[in-house]
Each structure stands twice: as structure tokens, then as C-alpha cells.
């Protein structure tokens, strides 16, 4: 049913992604789909990488490690943003269209009061993306 | 990165490498504290955020609690800095201009910011609009009419001495009674203060920051430019000190201009609509400016700051063309050329740092201006750096130094020229005699469509303040996040609101703004040393870069 699954990720919080990555890989395997990891880098040096090229290299090797681990084809797509803190939503939305994704799997936090002021990235993508969207909570709501 | 580089002993890649990063153990964000206050996340550089925040609050309390003592201390500091170190400011500013011009003509000019393969982030128009709006937009609104008029009048008055000291405020030897020459001298002196020198100061800071972050991979913060001087020690207290000082100068610089800007916009609104002059109106104005700036910073660099800057540049251009066409067009066009010639002709004498006879002019005007531009340079320079990735050094210097200087000559010739023409030809001296904040409006008053142009003037003043306030908040946020540009959004909202609050508190206290402005200008002295070191760092950094051929 799905052919291209886009997984937006933040390389700075790789450790928190476990559940999302597992879900995405399982879906890719059962649908025989390919995974595309999308990361957003700023043109200025950041904590993950000091140049956009370095960021892209890290993202590609992350994608390769996912392929090795889960046995599904995966690629990486780097978006360069002038002001990632506020442009992230729009940039993700555009990348999802450009890449022709039919499913987006992304990690999201449990909503809290601040979501009334600043909606989370997941909420924005779910509201605006033409693709199906699966938001994976970082913890179960029963916890 | 993997390019072959020949490493020198201090870890800076050698000249054979492409634009590539300095090998340092420092990881961007390693000293940061992440967390959340209630629902709002933050990501701050530990000592810099805390120390600068606490120092700002402490200084505000000090000025409020002991206004007279603080006023006396700061004005003493201010006058000893601008009077005692005039030679240092004037000499250093000359070095910055020569340094920038040198970069245009040498092969170092072909180094590209961001590496040989980088492409510009912004179009020329968007880029230019942003650097101009951050750089001096607001000053042009207020000094465009008043400064040429002041120098013209003092030059006409001739020189006066008392006890062997000049007591007049005229530049150089004045031009007693000679209208044409006084006009030329007035224009030359004004352009001197708004042309090559201030933009060279900004260009040095901006170039240093852009080079060390985009090409060398160091965090986008002031301390990075000192890596060639201090090595890994910049990640310690030396760096904290430099960054804190920059935050301090930026925040107080913005807060004081926000306060003065509100006073000035209030005067204009009073002139036009009879809005009462007083602290209530001013507080409302600051709150409104801060609110618009808040929307702009939350919309980000492309969605907010850039759009506002472009609107502003468009409006300013329309006003310029209007005054040029409706005013004495031919006179203004020839004045533009004459002013350029006069500027070149008087430049050596005006920029001479030692043995000046015109002490009031060289200390009260030039030295004051240089200290002012320099204390603003961390903010403007950092903002220019943020938007200049992908340009070559030569392109960068031409666009940050030469084009803004020409625009300033144009602006000053048209606005100052019209006002001088009104005085000389029509005998209309109302603008000349008016208070500083009213001069522009009084000049527009005797031209057609005065109501509309004055309104455009007020809108320009307000939007220029918004663009300073939003770009300033971005800069402070980046510095206090240790150079990270992706810190949580509520953090930049915090700085924007904090800045407005400091401005309001200082405005409501008697003399608070005045004394803090003196203090901000005093920070120009340590920063001059900082800028001189930056020139050295830029040279070191550029020599290790691959040049485009």
C-alpha cells in the first residue's frame, strides 16, 4: 500500500528515536516500501555538524546503519534552513511533497499546555501534509 | 571534513585546503543547559546567559536606585573615553577602512564565505535590505536632515578661540561666511561620519564572524573570531567575557535606542495628529514596537525580518525619490557630486587622528560616532554575518562597505541638501531651529503632500525600530545559546520582550536612558581593541583558505 515512507529525524536526539525507527522499519518491511530519513541542518555550525556537508554525511551514514540493522532500503535527505527553529514545519512539509512520500512516520511528544501556543511539528505535518501521517508518542499515554 | 589540509601547529588548516574547519575539541553546545520552564523549552549557554542576564538586571537596578550617582559615573566615563581616546578611535577606524579596501584588491578577496562551493543564501535585494536596516536605517531618519544642517551652520559661524582652545563646533578650519564652502564642508563632515568608516567597522566584525563560522566551523558567536589569538582558551572565561560584553552592549544599545526612538516617534505623532507627548504614549509605542518585533522574530529570518527590511527599504526609497523630485532637483543632483568630491578632498584632514585643532568637532562628533558605531558592531556585524553565507570576500566588502556608503551620500545629499537649500534660498530656518526629533518633519512641512510624507516618515521610524529590535533579539539569542541558531523559539521571544521591558523601565526613570547610553558608548573602547585583534584574525583565517580562481 505504501511505497515511500519519510521519517523526519533530529540527529541531536538520536537516542529518543528508538520506538519511531522500529515502527518505520516494520512498516517498510511489511509494505515493501523504502525509507527516507529527512534531517534539517542550519547553514551556521550547529551541535550535530559544523557544516551542512558534514551534516549530510552523518545523515547518509545514519541511513546506511538503519539499512544494515533492519534490512530495508533507506536513504537520507538533508534540508538546509536559514532559521531552523521556526522554518522547520514549512521545510518538512515541502520535503514530504518533493520526495513524493505516501506515509510519514515521526516522533512526537505527548501534548502539553504549550501546544496551544506553538503546535508541535508532528501536529503541523499531520494538518498540512498530503501523505498519511503516523505520529509516534515518545512515551505511552498510560505512563 | 576530508579534504587534504596542511595543518599548522595551532590547528588552523593550511592554505592548500578548501574552506575547512578548524580542528578543535570543542563541541558546539557542550556548555549548554537544556531544559524547560513550565511548558517552554530552553537551550542556553550556561555562564553567558546567566552572567549577562544578571548583569543587565543589576545595572538597571543601579540606575534606578541611584539615578544621580549612576548618571554622574556614566557621564564621567563617557567623556573621558571620547575625549581621552579620540586619537585611538580615529586612528583605529582609519585602519579598518584601509584593511577592508586592501581585501578588495588583494587575492584574499576571492575567498568564498562557506567554502568554494557555497552559494549565496539571499538575493542581492533581500541581503542588502537586511544589512542596511540593521546597520543604520534609524539614524538616517534623524540625522539625515539635522547633521548636514548643524555642520553647515557651525561652519558658517567660523572659528572662535578662548585661551588657545577652539570653542566652536565647526569641522576643521570652518568656512566663515562662505555659504558654498560651508555647505561642502558640512556635507563632507556628515558623509565622513556615515560613509566608509562606520561600514568598515561593521564589515570587520561581520567578516570575522562569517569566516570563522562558515569556513572554520566554529560557533556563530563573537568569541570564535579570537580562535587564532587565544586558541582553545576562547571556550573558557576569555570567551565568556567577550560574549557577555557583546550581549550587554547589544541589549543596552537596543533598549536605549528603543527609548529614544519612542520619544522621537512621539514627537512626530504630536506634530502630525496632536497625539500628546508623554510617558504614556511612549510606553504604548515601545510596547507596540516590541509586539510587532515579537511577531517578526517568531516568524523567523525569512518570514519576518527579511520581509520587514524589504518593505522598509522600498518605503525609504520612495521617500528619497519624492524629496529629490519635489525638492530642488538639479541643485540636489549637483550637490550629490559636489559632496562626493568634497568628501574625498577633506577626508585626509577629517580622519587625521592627532594634533587636531577642531577639538569640539573631532571629540564631540567624530570620536562619539566612532565609539557609537563600534559599540553597535557586535550586533550589526553578527547579523550581517548571519545573512552573508555564500558571498566572496570581495563581493562582501563591496556590498557592505562601498554600496551603503554611496547610499548614505545620496540620502544625506537629498535630505540635508533640501534643508540647507531652504535655509540659503528661501530663508526658511524652522527646520534648522527645531529640536532634533522634529527637523525632518519641519523640512517636509513646506513641501507638497506634507501630511503623507510625514506619515511615511513616522512609519519608517517605527519599522526601522522593529527591524533593529527583531534582528537584535536573534543576535542576543544566538550568542546566549553558545552560537546555536536552532535554540527553542520561546527563548528569542524572551529576549525581545526583555529588551522592551528594559527600555520602558529606563524611559520611566529620570535620565536613565541618557546615562546608560553613555555607558554603552563607553563599551566602544574595549571593543576597539577587540576589532583590531579581529583584523589580525581575519588575515590569518583568510590566508589559510583556498581562493577561487
For residue A101, the model assigns a pLDDT of: 92
For residue B510, the model assigns a pLDDT of: 67
The terminus-to-terminus CA distance of chain B in angstroms comes to: 22
Query: pLDDT tens digits for B20-37?
Result: 567 676 777 777 777 766
Determine whether the interchain pair B302/A83 forms a contact, defined as Cβ–Cβ distance below 8 Å: yes
Give yes or no for a contact between B465 and B251, defined as CB atoms under 8 angstroms apart: no
Phi, psi of A8 (to 5 degrees): -70, 130
Distance from CA of A119 to the nearest CA of B (A): 12
For residue B16, the model assigns a pLDDT of: 39
Determine whether the interchain pair B213/A83 forms a contact, defined as Cβ–Cβ distance below 8 Å: no
Determine whether the interchain pair A50/B218 forms a contact, defined as Cβ–Cβ distance below 8 Å: yes
Predicted confidence (pLDDT) at residue B39 exceeds the cutoff of 50? yes
Residues of B whose CB is below 8 A from A83: 300-302, 485
Distance from CA of A29 to the nearest CA of B (A): 34
Residues of A whose CB is below 8 A from B219: 45
Quickly tell me which residue has 538639479 as its cell. Answer: B330
Which residue of B lies nearest to A53 if distances are taken between CA atoms?
Answer: B1
The domains of chain B are located at 51-543
Give the closest of A50, A85, A86 to B217, CB-based: A50
Determine whether the interchain pair A50/B29 forms a contact, defined as Cβ–Cβ distance below 8 Å: no
Which residue of A lies nearest to B29 if distances are taken between CA atoms?
Answer: A47
Name the residue among B25, B26, B27, B46 with its Cα closest to residue B35. B46
Under the banding of pLDDT at 50, 70 and 90, the label for residue A6 is very high
Residues of B whose CB is below 8 A from A51: 1, 21, 115, 214, 217
Angstrom distance (rounded) from CA B279 to CA B277 = 7
Under the banding of pLDDT at 50, 70 and 90, the label for residue B9 is very low
Determine whether the interchain pair B38/A113 forms a contact, defined as Cβ–Cβ distance below 8 Å: yes
Chains A & B: contacts with CB separation below 8 Å: 80
Query: pLDDT tens digits for A89-115?
Result: 888 899 999 999 999 998 887 666 655
Under the banding of pLDDT at 50, 70 and 90, the label for residue A70 is very high
B392-421 exposure pattern, b = at least 16 Cβ within 10 A, e = fewer: bbbbbbbbbbbebbebbbbbbbbbbbbbbb
Under the banding of pLDDT at 50, 70 and 90, the label for residue B322 is very high
Mutate: best of A16, A39, A40, A47, partner B, most B CBs <10 A: A47
- Which residues partner with B40 through β-bridges? B37
Which residue of B lies nearest to A48 if distances are taken between CA atoms?
Answer: B28
Interface of B with A (CB under 8 A): 1, 21, 27-29, 38-40, 114-115, 121, 213-214, 217-220, 298-303, 386-387, 389, 483-490, 492
Which residue of B lies nearest to A87 if distances are taken between CA atoms?
Answer: B300
Predicted confidence (pLDDT) at residue A78 exceeds the cutoff of 70? yes
For residue B11, the model assigns a pLDDT of: 43
Residues of B whose CB is below 8 A from A84: 485-486
Residues of A whose CB is below 8 A from B299: 86
Residues of A whose CB is below 8 A from B23: none
Distance from CA of A57 to the nearest CA of B (A): 10
Determine whether the interchain pair B489/A42 forms a contact, defined as Cβ–Cβ distance below 8 Å: no
Query: pLDDT tens digits for B244-288?
Result: 888 888 888 888 888 878 887 888 888 888 889 888 998 999 999
Angstrom distance (rounded) from CA B132 to CA B401 = 11
Query: pLDDT tens digits for B124-143?
Result: 888 888 887 877 667 788 78
Give the closest of A50, A53, A87 to B300, CB-based: A87
Residues of A whose CB is below 8 A from B213: 44-45
Mean pLDDT of all residues in B301-316 = 88
Residues of B whose CB is below 8 A from A54: 1, 21, 217
Determine whether the interchain pair B492/A46 forms a contact, defined as Cβ–Cβ distance below 8 Å: no
For residue B79, the model assigns a pLDDT of: 85
Determine whether the interchain pair B214/A43 forms a contact, defined as Cβ–Cβ distance below 8 Å: yes
Give the closest of B28, B386, B389 to A46, CB-based: B28
Determine whether the interchain pair B386/A46 forms a contact, defined as Cβ–Cβ distance below 8 Å: no
Which residue of A lies nearest to B382 if distances are taken between CA atoms?
Answer: A44
B164-195 exposure pattern, b = at least 16 Cβ within 10 A, e = fewer: eebebbbbbebbeeeeeebbbbbbbbbbbbbb
Give the closest of A85, A87, A118 to B487, CB-based: A85
Residues of A whose CB is below 8 A from B218: 45, 50
Mutate: best of B2, B485, B492, partner A, most A CBs <10 A: B485
Determine whether the interchain pair A45/B213 forms a contact, defined as Cβ–Cβ distance below 8 Å: yes
Residues of A whose CB is below 8 A from B121: 43, 82
Question: What length does chain B have?
Answer: 549
Give the closest of B21, B299, B300 to A50, CB-based: B21
Under the banding of pLDDT at 50, 70 and 90, the label for residue B547 is low
Phi, psi of A119 (to 5 degrees): -65, 150
* Distance set, CA B434 to CA A116, B145, B147, B430, B531 (Å): 50, 11, 13, 6, 37
Phi, psi of B10 (to 5 degrees): -95, 15
Determine whether the interchain pair B114/A118 forms a contact, defined as Cβ–Cβ distance below 8 Å: no
- Three-state DSSP at A72 gives coil
For residue B40, the model assigns a pLDDT of: 66
Helices (runs of H) and strands (runs of E) counted in chain B: 22, 4
Count of CB atoms within 10 A of residue B71's CB? 18
Query: pLDDT tens digits for B425-476?
Result: 988 888 888 888 888 888 998 899 988 998 898 888 888 888 888 888 989 9
Angstrom distance (rounded) from CA A66 to CA A105 = 15
- Which residues partner with B374 through β-bridges? none
* Distance set, CA B254 to CA A125, B139, B178, B246, B480 (Å): 37, 13, 40, 12, 16
- The architecture that CATH gives domain B51-543 is Up-down Bundle (1.20)
Under the banding of pLDDT at 50, 70 and 90, the label for residue B196 is very high
Predicted confidence (pLDDT) at residue B362 exceeds the cutoff of 80? yes
Determine whether the interchain pair A43/B220 forms a contact, defined as Cβ–Cβ distance below 8 Å: no
Determine whether the interchain pair A85/B302 forms a contact, defined as Cβ–Cβ distance below 8 Å: no
Predicted confidence (pLDDT) at residue B151 exceeds the cutoff of 90? yes
Query: pLDDT tens digits for B524-546?
Result: 888 899 899 999 999 988 888 76
Chain B interface includes A83 (CB < 8 A):
yes
Which residue of B lies nearest to A86 if distances are taken between CA atoms?
Answer: B300
* Range with the largest mean pLDDT of B18-32, B36-50, B329-343, B473-487: B329-343
- Which residues partner with B504 through β-bridges? none
Predicted confidence (pLDDT) at residue B62 exceeds the cutoff of 90? no
Under the banding of pLDDT at 50, 70 and 90, the label for residue B294 is very high
Determine whether the interchain pair A114/B27 forms a contact, defined as Cβ–Cβ distance below 8 Å: no
Query: pLDDT tens digits for B398-421?
Result: 999 988 888 889 999 999 999 999
Angstrom distance (rounded) from CA A134 to CA A122 = 9
Which A positions 14-43 lie with beta carbon below 8 A of chain B? 42-43
Identify the structural domains of chain A with CATH numbers, from first to last: 4-137 (3.40.50.620)
Give the closest of A43, A50, A113 to B121, CB-based: A43
For residue A59, the model assigns a pLDDT of: 94
Q: What percent of chain B has pLDDT over 70?
A: 93
Amino acid at each position: 500500500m505504501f511505497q515511500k515512507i519519510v521519517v523526519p529525524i533530529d540527529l541531536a536526539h538520536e537516542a529518543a528515536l528508538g520506538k519511531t525507527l522500529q515502527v518505520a522499519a516494520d512498516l517498510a518491511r511489511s509494505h515493501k516500501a523504502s525509507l527516507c530519513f529527512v534531517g534539517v541542518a542550519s547553514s551556521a555550525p550547529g551541535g550535530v555538524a559544523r557544516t551542512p556537508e558534514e551534516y549530510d554525511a552523518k545523515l547518509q551514514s545514519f541511513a546506511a546503519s538503519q539499512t544494515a540493522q533492519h534490512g530495508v532500503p533507506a536513504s537520507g535527505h538533508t534540508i538546509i534552513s536559514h532559521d531552523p527553529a521556526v522554518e522547520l514545519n514549512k521545510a518538512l512539509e515541502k520535503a514530504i511533497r518533493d520526495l513524493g512520500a505516501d506515509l510519514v512516520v515521526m516522533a512526537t511528544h505527548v501534548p502539553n499546555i504549550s501546544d496551544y501556543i506553538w503546535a508541535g511539528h508532528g501536529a503541523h505535518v499531520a494538518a498540512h501534509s498530503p501523505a498519511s501521517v503516523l505520529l509516534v508518542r515518545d512515551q505511552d499515554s498510560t505512563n | 571534513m576530508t579534504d587534504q589540509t596542511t595543518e599548522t601547529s595551532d590547528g588552523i588548516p593550511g592554505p592548500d585546503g578548501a574552506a575547512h574547519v578548524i580542528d578543535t575539541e570543542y563541541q558546539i553546545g557542550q556548555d549548554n543547559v537544556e531544559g524547560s520552564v513550565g511548558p517552554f523549552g530552553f537551550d542556553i549557554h550556561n555562564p553567558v546567559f546567566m552572567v549577562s542576564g544578571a548583569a543587565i538586571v543589576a545595572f538597571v537596578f543601579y540606575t534606578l536606585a541611584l539615578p544621580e550617582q549612576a548618571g554622574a559615573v556614566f557621564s564621567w566615563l563617557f567623556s573621558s573615553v571620547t575625549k581621552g581616546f579620540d586619537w585611538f578611535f580615529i586612528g583605529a577606524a582609519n585602519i579598518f577602512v584601509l584593511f577592508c579596501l586592501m581585501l578588495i584588491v588583494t587575492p584574499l578577496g576571492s575567498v568564498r564565505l562557506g567554502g568554494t562551493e557555497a552559494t549565496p543564501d539571499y538575493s542581492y535585494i533581500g541581503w542588502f535590505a537586511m544589512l542596511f536596516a540593521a546597520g543604520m536605517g534609524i539614524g538616517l531618519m534623524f540625522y539625515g536632515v539635522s547633521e548636514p544642517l548643524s555642520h553647515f551652520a557651525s561652519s558658517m559661524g567660523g572659528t572662535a578661540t578662548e585661551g588657545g582652545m577652539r570653542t566652536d563646533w565647526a569641522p576643521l578650519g570652518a568656512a566663515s561666511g562662505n555659504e558654498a564652502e560651508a555647505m561642502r564642508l558640512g556635507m563632507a563632515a556628515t558623509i565622513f561620519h556615515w560613509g566608509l568608516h562606520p561600514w568598515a567597522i561593521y564589515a570587520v566584525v561581520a567578516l570575522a564572524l562569517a569566516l570563522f563560522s562558515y569556513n572554520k566551523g566554529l560557533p556563530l558567536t563573537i568569541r570564535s573570531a579570537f580562535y587564532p589569538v587565544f586558541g582553545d582558551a576562547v571556550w573558557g572565561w576569555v570567551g565568556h567575557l567577550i560574549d557577555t560584553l557583546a550581549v550587554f552592549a547589544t541589549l543596552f544599545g537596543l533598549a536605549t535606542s528603543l527609548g529614544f526612538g519612542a520619544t522621537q516617534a512621539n514627537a512626530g505623532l504630536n506634530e502630525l495628529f496632536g497625539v500628546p507627548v508623554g510617558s504614556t504614549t511612549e510606553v504604548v509605542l515601545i510596547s507596540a514596537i516590541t509586539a510587532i518585533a515579537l511577531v517578526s522574530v517568531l516568524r523567523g529570518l525569512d518570514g519576518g525580518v527579511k520581509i520587514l527590511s524589504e518593505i522598509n527599504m522600498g518605503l525609504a526609497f520612495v521617500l528619497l525619490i519624492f524629496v529629490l523630485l519635489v525638492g530642488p532637483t538639479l541643485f540636489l543632483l549637483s550637490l550629490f557630486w559636489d559632496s562626493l568630491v568634497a568628501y574625498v578632498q577633506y577626508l585626509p584632514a577629517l580622519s587625521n587622528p592627532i594634533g587636531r585643532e577642531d577639538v569640539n568637532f573631532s571629540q564631540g562628533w567624530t570620536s562619539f560616532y566612532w565609539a557609537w558605531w563600534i559599540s553597535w558592531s557586535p550586533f550589526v556585524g553578527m547579523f550581517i554575518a548571519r545573512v552573508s553565507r555564500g558571498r566572496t570576500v570581495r563581493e562582501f566588502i563591496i556590498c557592505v562597505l562601498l554600496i551603503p556608503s554611496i547610499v548614505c551620500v545620496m540620502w544625506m545629499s537629498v535630505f540635508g541638501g533640501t534643508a540647507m537649500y531652504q535655509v540659503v534660498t528661501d530663508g526658511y530656518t524652522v527646520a534648522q531651529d527645531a529640536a532634533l526629533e522634529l527637523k525632518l518633519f519641519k523640512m517636509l512641512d513646506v513641501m507638497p503632500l506634507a501630511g503623507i510624507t510625514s506619515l511615511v516618515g513616522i512609519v519608517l521610524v517605527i519599522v526601522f525600530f522593529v527591524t533593529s529590535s527583531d534582528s537584535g533579539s536573534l543576535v542576543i539569542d544566538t550568542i546566549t545559546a553558545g552560537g546555536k541558531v536552532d535554540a527553542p523559539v520561546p527563548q528569542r521571544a524572551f529576549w525581545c520582550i526583555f529588551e522592551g521591558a528594559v527600555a520602558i523601565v529606563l524611559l520611566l526613570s529620570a535620565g536613565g536612558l541618557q546615562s546608560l547610553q553613555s555607558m554603552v558608548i563607553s563599551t566602544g573602547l574595549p571593543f576597539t581593541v577587540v576589532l583590531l585583534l579581529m583584523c589580525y584574525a581575519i588575515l590569518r583565517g583568510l590566508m589559510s583558505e583556498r581562493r577561487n580562481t
